[in-house]
Amino acid sequence: MARFIIRCGIFKGEDMTEATAAVAHDHPHAGIMRWLTTTNHKDLGILYMSFGGIMFFVGGLFIMAVRAELLYPGLQLLSPGMYNQLFTLHALIMVFGAIMPFATGLNNYLIPLMIGAPDMALPRVNNWGFWILPFAAVLLLIPFFLQFFGTGSGATGLGWMMHNTTLDIQSGIGIDFAIFTILLLGVSSLTGAINVVVTALNMRAPGMVLMKMPLFVWAWLITAFMLILAMPVFSAAATMLLTDRHFGTHFFDAANGGDPILLQHLIWFFGHPEVYIVLLPAWGLIPHILATFSRKPVYGYRAQVYALCAICFLSFIVWSHHMLTSGLPLAAEVYFMYATMAISVPTSVLVFCWLGAIWRGAMTFETPMLFALGFVAHFGMGALTGLVLPDVAVNAQHHNSYVLVAHFHYTFFGGGIFGMMAALYYWLPKFTGHMFDEKLGRLHFWLTVISFNITFIPQWFAGLDGMPRHVADYALRFSAMNFISSVGAFLLGLTQLLLVYIVVRCVRGGPKATGQVWEGAQGLEFTLPSPPPYHTFETPPEVK
Amino acid sequence: MELAGASIHDDPAIRVWRLPFSFCSRHETANFHIRQIKKQLPLWFWIAFFLFVSEPAHAKSIWDFQEPVTPVARTSLAASVEFMRIIMGIYIAVFAVFAYSIFKHRKSSGAQPGTFTGPGSRRQWILAITPFLLLIYIDYIWMGIPAFHAISRMEDTRTAADMTVKVTASQWKWQYEYPDEGISFVSAMATSQGQIHGREAKGEHYLLEVDNPLILPTNKKVRILLISTDVIHSWWVPSFGVKRDAVPGYLREMWVNIEKPGIYRGQCAQLCGDGHSFMPIVVEAVAEPQFNEWVAQKKAQSSQAEAVAGKAWSREELMAKGDEVYKVVCSACHQADGKGLPGAFPALSGSSIVNGPMLDKEGHLFKDGHLDRVMNGKPGTAMQAFKNSLSDAEIAAVVTYERNSFGNRMGDMVQPAQVKALR
């Protein structure tokens, strides 16, 4: 890692004085201070992505313990309280610690390269936005570790959306730590989002009109607007909860005239856009990868841009489909059902365009392409089951059952994580200057696909059979499904260690990557050498 | 696939399994589980077979919920199966095209990449638009219109309701009340801690058994009202096809009309704290005459109970009754040994409240004393006001029991008549 870090920063020039000056200018600090104080979008991109990667494994470890407990009926390893903490931390870490930071890292590294800008518009804010994250993560985890030393009752164990209000009010310090974590994450996400909006709207190279902007940048621009609109609601809800807990307000406390459903509304008003905040970056990068390996131009560019905008809009008007069993009035249930079904239209526009992207191409199947196709196949399952869930009558069965768990893992893992892995493999040679081991990459893909499906297919059936989620222990009729699911989860966890090996090896060395990297790759980032020099596009390129 | 117990021990393949699962306790050997799973495994093979090979129309059994026994459950099952078939159809159609493209349009087979970036001809535009029209038709007409009718019916709790049952959820038990008949009782999980922690063999209805099931008549429209005393819970019996949250501060409602006598089991479906997994629902549906018989019997019991509440109870009677009540009502939080759960639920053993005064000099409730806490609860915590759900005798008994158990030796007792006067 260290060698890679040094390498990607050094300016190799004939003129030594100039080179030395450039180095001095580039790196006012060496070692750790460089990373603490950097305002360079590539450094920050790497920091974000490394943080996301590390948290991916932390969140994964937590869920391994959960699946070990669920291997057999009965309580073997964990107390129910510890179980609740583990799955809650898994969810919070995976969503806010792994997928979102990784996607932010990609945007940091790639947006300036893709639009021909020298850096993000607000480099210092960028640095601040990143360095909030490790503190937020530590804050979230402190109470979890403190309980082993006899202090407090552990981390929050209320599920990632924490919307069982009175339970929130009853719980220990873990929830306070989670609230402050949410507030910090809110600041971090907002700085990142504002940075993307300002950069994408102001710093495009001459000639790159909005409708020529790469789809990944479009997707991130829309994501950023969603973050700016949704995140403050989450922070507000968390703050209201904080004042309920400590300052005697009663926003959500029914015993004192508050409304427990209000918190659900507030949190899902954020929570539903959040689903698309996680997915949109992946949707933005998939067309790049499909086009590259099909050796074709992007299919349906305009349709995809409009579809992404439509999804962004719809995501703000469907939140209550997460609360269809909480006793909404009939009119609201009908409205949220029909509004939710509307999302299927722009989503299928995207799927149609992905199909168009590979149709009559000249495809090759390198690892990023495999992950992109895997993304389409698995996300397709998650999306299609999402068509069934808003039907209120059917939802009465599926809501809070394992069907739901399987559904959102097909979208978050099958969609979000597969997309992030496709992106990682696609741009890794660009980041490091080395090709990764293609054979191992393919092995990683197939193992991931197989173990992912072994993990989550049984959960559909456990759910259809009536298994509620969030349970530490289950009735005997669910034991076969849970056993298979747990075995699959262990395999899935182990498989990801292969990813670490591949990435570390690629960072350390390997065959040299060309600037173009992939035969069919298009876009400004591929006009640069691999790895790109520390400063790029100081003179903006001309886009025709 | 059926393997006799003895042969499993001889099967070398199984012996390999034993090692990694050594954390299972003595009675819960891995072999036991493997045996359980082996029994169920053929089902899994069928599922895999159906999912990947068979035409979905034949796969009815795998999409099934637990047997639907109400009109609502049958409707939602039918809608679910139909919807699942539709999405399977869409998935197969779409990914058949993907698969065709993946196999056909390869560089290695000499394919030349196209340069088109969207539908070109009129025919292509029609091809591109049709799937979306079809999708809109599926969403809003094919599935959408029946869904509207299903919801309207599901939400119509009041028309022609034959009787009402009130369900009060609290951590982690259900209280059932028949307002017209004046019957009320608490229903809590009956599975022993030994089974949960693997010290005893697990019973057939592990985690899905209760001490007092909800008894309902068949072929009657029963309106179910839901409230909660603490956090949000959710009442769900898969066979009934309804799930509704019990929200503190709100009255929620739903209805069931059970068409077939039998015992139906479900669980709380909303994360409600540490005992979320241990909050089962058991409904016993019986024909109307039997139901009326049960009601009469219950009424006789409660009038009897009222009569005995007036008499002076002996210490032994109070302790015996208190032990019973404690196990059902209190032990979920304060634990069977009265030691509580540190950080979450306070211990009763050695507690200054339990070992403190109950009544002041005038015979009123001592504020924040033992009896006050049990009757009125502690706002903002899981400790609810039990005067709403327990009878005079039950409160008197359990308070007496707590003051003289777990190492507490107060020696005093409370009479049901006293509790009655303090309400």
In a domain, B108, yes or no: no
Residue B79 sits at the chain A interface (C-beta within 8 Å): yes
d(CA B350, CA B358): 15
| Same domain, residue pair B403 and B351 | yes
Percent residues over pLDDT 70 in chain B: 83
Question: Any idea of the CA torsion for B370, B373, B378, B383, to the nearest 10 degrees?
Answer: 90
Chain A contacts in chain B segment 334-363 (CB below 8 A): 341, 343-344
Q: How far is B285 from chain A (nearest CA, A)?
A: 19
**Residue listed under structure tokens 């005093």:** B412
Probe site for chain B from A394, A482, A487, A522 (most B CB atoms < 10 A): A394
Decide: residue B267, CB within 10 A, 0-12 exposed, 13-18 middle, 19+ buried: buried
Is the pLDDT at B33 greater than 90, yes or no? no
Q: Identify whether residues B268 and B330 lie together within a single domain.
A: no
Query: Same structural domain for residues B288 and B167?
Result: yes
What pLDDT is recorded for position B395? 87
Which candidate in B117, B189, B197, B251 is best for mutational testing of the A interface (most A CBs within 10 A)? B117
Closest chain A residue to the Cα of B209, Cα to Cα: A475
Q: HEC string of chain B? A: CCCCHHHHHHCHHHHHHHHHHCCCCHHHCHHHHHHHHHHHHHHHHHHHHHHHCCCHHHCHHHHCCCCCCCHHHHHHHHHHHHHHHHHHHHHHHHHHHHHHHHHHCECCCCCCCCCCCCCCCHHHHHHHHHHHHHHHHHHHHHCHHHHHHHHHHHHCCCCCCCEEEEEEEECCEEEEEECCCCEEEEECECCCHHHHCCCCCCCCCCCCCECCCEEEECCCCEEEEEEECCCCEEEEEHHHCEEEEECECCCEEEEECCCCCEEEEEEECCCCCCCHHHCEEEEEEECHHHHHHHHHHHHHHHHHHHHHHHCCCCHHHHHHHHHHHHHHHHHHHHCCCCCCECCCECCCCCCCCCCCCCECCCCCECCCCHHHHHHHCCCCCCCCCHHHCCCHHHHHHHHHHHHCCCCCCCCCCCCHHHHHHHC
> How do beta strands B222-228 and B252-256 pair?
antiparallel
Last residue of a domain, one of B304, B328, B354: B304
Please say if the pLDDT value at position A467 is more than 60: yes
pLDDT confidence bin for B116, thresholds 50/70/90: confident
Looking at the fold, whether B288 and B194 belong to one and the same domain comes out as yes
pLDDT in tens, A482-510: 999 999 999 999 999 999 999 999 999 88
In-domain check, residue B118: no
Residue B6 CB burial class (10 angstroms; 0-12, 13-18, ≥19): exposed
pLDDT category, A321, cuts 50, 70, 90? very high
Within 8 A by CB and 6+ apart from A201, the residues are: A221
* pLDDT tens per residue across span A91-130: 999 999 999 999 999 999 999 999 999 999 999 999 999 9
Residue B255: CATH number of its domain: 2.60.40.420
Residue among A1, A24, A41 at smallest CA distance from A536? A41
- End-to-end CA distance of chain A, in Å? 38
How many cross-chain Cβ pairs, A to B, lie less than 8 Å apart?
322
- The chain A residue lying nearest B194, using CA atoms, is A74
Find the range with the poorest average confidence among A134-138, A381-385, B57-61, B121-125: B57-61
Residue B180 resides in a domain? yes
Tell me how many degrees the CA angle B274-B275-B279 measures, rounded to the nearest 5. 155
pLDDT (mean) for B213-240: 93
pLDDT over 60 at B187, yes or no: yes
What pLDDT band is residue A392 in, cutting at 50, 70 and 90? confident
Partner-chain contact B132 A345, CB within 8 Å: yes
Residue of B nearest to A362 (CA): B107
Residue B133 confidence class, pLDDT cut points 50, 70, 90: very high
Q: Has residue B57 got a pLDDT over 80?
A: no
Q: Which of A84, A295, A461 sits opposite B47 (nearest CB)?
A: A461
Contact criterion met (CB < 8 Å) for B84 and A388: yes
Domain boundary among B304, B337, B372: B304
Give a yes or no: residue B378 inside a domain. Answer: yes
Question: What is the band of A449 on the pLDDT scale with cuts at 50, 70, 90?
Answer: very high
Residue B242 lies in a domain: yes
Q: What are phi and psi of B356, to 5 degrees?
A: -110, -175
Query: Which residue carries 């903002």 as its tokens?
Result: B380
Contacts of A461 in chain B (CB under 8 A): 47, 62
Q: Do B72 and A381 touch (CB under 8 A)?
A: no
Q: Which of A12-21, A167-176, A330-339 has the highest mean pLDDT?
A: A330-339
Select from A468, A472, A484 the Cβ nearest to the Cβ of B267.
Answer: A468
Q: What pLDDT score does B62 carry? A: 47
pLDDT of residue B311: 76
Work out the average pLDDT over A263-285.
Answer: 93
Distance from CA of A168 to the nearest CA of B (A): 9
Query: Are B79 and A393 a contacting pair at CB < 8 A?
Result: yes
In chain B, the residue whose alpha carbon lies closest to the alpha carbon of A378 is B91
Specify the higher pLDDT residue, B287 or B367: B287
Least confident segment among A1-10, A232-241, B406-415: A1-10
Domain count, chain B: 3
For residue A534, give how far its alpha carbon lies from the nearest alpha carbon of chain B (Å). Answer: 34
pLDDT tier at B64, thresholds 50, 70, 90: low
pLDDT of the residue at B359: 82
Q: CA of B289, closest CA in chain A: separation in Å?
A: 31
More confident residue, A350 or B31: A350
CA distance A324 to chain B (A): 9
Residue A363 has pLDDT above 80, yes or no: yes
Q: Is the ipTM beyond the 0.95 threshold?
A: no
| Distance between A49 CA and the closest CA of chain B, angstroms | 31
Q: Does the structure show a pLDDT above 50 at B25?
A: no
- Higher-confidence position of A160 and B162: B162
Among candidate residues B262, B286, B304, the one where a domain is terminated: B304
Domain harbouring B374, CATH code: 1.10.760.10
Confidence check: pLDDT of B43 > 70:
no
Examine the pLDDT at B52 and tell me if it is beyond 50. Answer: no
B242 bridge partner residues: B237
Does the CB of B64 have a partner CB in chain A at under 8 Å? yes
Q: What gap in Å lies between CA B211 and CA B187, rounded to an integer? A: 6
Question: Per residue in B374-415, pLDDT tens?
Answer: 888 886 677 878 887 788 888 888 888 888 888 888 888 888
Quick one: B317 and B275 in the same domain? no
**Contact (CB<8Å) A73/B202:** yes
Q: What is the mean pLDDT of residues A366-380?
A: 94
- Highest-scoring range by mean pLDDT, A30-44, A50-64, A518-532: A50-64
Mean pLDDT, range A428-456, rounded to an integer = 94
Residues B168 and B285 in one domain: yes
B106·A362 Cβ contact <8 A:
yes
Cβ-defined contact of A327 to B244 (cutoff 8 Å): yes
Q: How far apart are CA A423 and CA A385, in angstroms?
A: 25
Taking the C-alpha atoms of A188, A193, A194 and A196 in order, what is their torsion angle to the nearest 10 degrees?
130
Region B77-89: what's the mean pLDDT? 87
> Are residues B282 and B370 located together in one domain of the fold?
no
Domains and CATH numbers, chain A: 38-527 (1.20.210.10)
| Residue A26: band (very low, low, confident or very high) from pLDDT cuts 50, 70, 90 | low
Dump pLDDT digits (tens) for B311-355.
778 888 888 888 888 887 888 788 888 888 776 778 888 888 888
Q: What is the mean pLDDT of residues B84-89?
A: 88
Residue B149: inside a domain, yes or no? Answer: no
Would you state the pLDDT for residue B29?
56
Looking at beta carbons, which residues of chain B come within 8 Å of A88? none
Tell me how close the Cα of B140 comes to any Cα of chain A, in angstroms: 7
Q: Are residues B239 and B171 in the same domain?
A: yes
| Same-domain pairing of B336 and B294 | no
A480 φ, ψ to 5°? -65, -45
Say whether both B235 and B343 belong to one domain: no
Residue B38: its pLDDT value, please? 57
pLDDT of A340 higher than 90: yes
Any CB–CB contact under 8 A between B194 and chain A? no
Q: What long-range pairs does B48-55 form, CB within 8 A, spacing at least 24?
A: B48/A457, B51/A457
**Residue A420 · residue A391 · CB < 8 Å:** no
Residues B252 and B338 in one domain: no
**pLDDT, tens digit, for every residue of A50-104?**
999 999 999 999 999 999 999 999 999 998 889 999 999 999 999 999 999 999 9
Is B114 domain-assigned? no
One domain for residues B297 and B354: no
Mutant choice from B31, B107, B126 vs A, greatest count of A C-beta within 10 A: B107
Find the domain containing B9 and state its range: 5-53
- Nearest CA of chain A to the CA of B335: how many Å? 14
Asked whether residue B268 is assigned to any structural domain, the reply reads yes
CA-nearest residue to B383 within chain A is A170
Whether residues B98 and A377 touch (CB distance < 8 A) is answered with: yes
Please give the average per-residue pLDDT across B176-202, as a whole number. 89
